[in-house]
Amino acid sequence: MWTLADATLQSRFLIGTALYPSPESMRQATQASGSEVVTVSLRRQQAGSGGGNDFWELIRSLNVHVLPNTAGCHTIKEVMATAHMARELFDTNWIKVEIIGDEYTLQPDTAQLLAVTESLIRDGFEVFPYTTDDLVVAQRLADLGCRIVMPWASPIGSGQGLLNLYALETMRARLPQTTLIIDAGIGKPSDATRALELGFDGVLLNSAVALARDPVGMASAFRYALNAGRAAYEAGVMQPRNMAQPSTPTLGTPFWVQSN
């Protein structure tokens, strides 16, 4: 059991709902993941369609916490309007803030992220900021009142895994009281295990499951990977050594003779 904002959760796996081959595949994968938090978004309503109710009904049937995002926003004004629309529509004050600064890498604009986070916290939101692995930005987000910070491991959808272990390990060490979720870049279950071994509190991913040949099987694989990583972190990973150390005791080894 752990605490995310004010929610008590079993799973450390936060999962996206996009890119699946079908809604049914998304439903099954989400259930197989064991996740209790799913990310959702907003799109322009098509005239006469009534709204995205089929999707929303499906999400509600999963009985999970919903984390709306501000994907596609490039300005503070867009993020503020999107966050308020999401709060009304999804009936939650949780918001994953994405404010993109570079189209090629989808790297967040961290200067604007800090400014909009301050406004959103003032308006009563629980901000889940999507940020880079920049330590000082993460510290400033925590200073503003973020209980959760979500650094990328590598660019969104790239599946490149944990590109900067030094930065991530440093962030974990320097922000011991902040809930740190790896958001973006996880490609395979071993990436998620590594993140949890380092002491990260959870992982948020979408593409790695949705784009797998078998999304349901991959959701299950990530579930085990996260559990393994967390168990390893709690058990305490041994310190690496440069030299070999025999694991079998040498005392009483047959045929052993003192050379001098």
Partner 1 sequence: MTILINDKPHELDEPCSVAILLERHGARAGSVAVAHNEQFVSRANYATTIMQDGDTLEIVAPMQGG
Token readout for 103 is: 């189209």
Q: Total residues contacting partner 1 (rule CB under 8 A)?
A: 42
Q: Give the nearest distance from C-beta 227 to partner 1 in angstroms.
A: 22
Measured CA to CA, the distance from residue 131 to residue 182 in angstroms comes to 10
Nearest distance in Å: CB 199, partner 1: 24
One residue of 69, 110, 179, 220 binding partner 1 per CB under 8 A: 69
Q: How far is the CB of 38 from partner 1 (least distance, A)?
A: 9
Rank residues 51 and 217 by Cβ distance to partner 1 and give the closer one: 51
Contact positions with partner 1 (CB under 8 A) in 19-58: 19-20, 26, 39-45, 47-53, 55-56
Half-sphere exposure of 235 (CA within 13 A, CB side): 9
Does 108 sit near partner 1 (CB under 8 A)? Answer: no
| Closest approach of partner 1 to the CB of residue 204, in Å | 8
Q: DSSP assignment, residue 202?
A: E
One of 27, 65, 74, 84 touching partner 1 (CB under 8 A): 84
Token pair 């004010």 in the structure block, residue: 6
Q: Which residue has the tokens 């916290």?
A: 121
Smallest distance, Å, CB 35 to partner 1? 13
Binding mask 169-208 for partner 1 (x = CB under 8 A): ------------------------------------xxx-
Determine phi and psi for 77, rounding to 5 degrees.
-60, -45
- Choosing from 30, 90, 94, 96, the catalytic residue is 96
In 3D space, the residue among 96, 133, 89 whose CA is nearest the CA of residue 4 turns out to be 96
Q: Does the active-site annotation cover 96?
A: yes
Q: Which of 5, 28, 65, 78 binds partner 1 (CB under 8 A)?
A: 78
Answer yes or no: are the C-beta atoms of 223 and 202 closer than 8 Å.
Answer: no
What is the distance between the alpha carbons of residues 93 and 121, in angstroms, rounded to a whole number? 10
Judge contact between 135 and 174, C-beta under 8 A.
yes
CB distance 98 to 82 below 8 Å: no
Q: Residues 91-111, buried b or exposed e (16+ Cβ, 10 A)?
A: ebbbbbbbbbeeeeebbbbbe
Which of 48/246 has CB closer to partner 1? 48
- Site for partner 1, rule CB under 8 A: 16-20, 26, 39-45, 47-53, 55-56, 59, 68-69, 71, 77-78, 80-82, 84-86, 88-90, 156-157, 205-207
